[in-house]
Amino acid sequence: MKNVTITVDDTALEWVRIEAAKRNTSVSRLVGEMLAEKMRHDDAYERAYREWQADQRSWVSSGAPYPTRDEIYAERLDRFR
């Protein structure tokens, strides 16, 4: 692990100290965990976005009109009748 020096405004520093105390951990460990979670979240988002972009399904109607909102909901309601 590497050590890093950061600059934080007083309000954020007060919050992180209290949050670390609530979790019975150090400010350093809490900030490290927050950064790791942010990294995992961003990686998952990017992966999902790339998968969506690579999706080969065609949403083109081939000239036929798309169903209206009422038609879509009517189909759904018919399932429950």
Residue-wise pLDDT tens digits, 12-60? 999 999 999 999 999 999 999 999 999 999 999 999 999 988 887 766 7
Q: What is the mean pLDDT of residues 53-79?
A: 81
In a domain, 42, yes or no: yes
| Number of domains the chain is built from | 1
Residue 30 lies in a domain: yes
Q: Is residue 76 part of a domain?
A: no
Q: Look up the domain containing 29 and give its range.
A: 1-55
Q: Is residue 80 scored above 70 in pLDDT?
A: yes
Degrees to nearest 5, angle at CA 27 with 26 and 32: 100
Q: Are 8 and 16 in contact (CB under 8 A)?
A: yes
Total-model pTM = 0.60
CATH number, residue 46: 1.10.1220
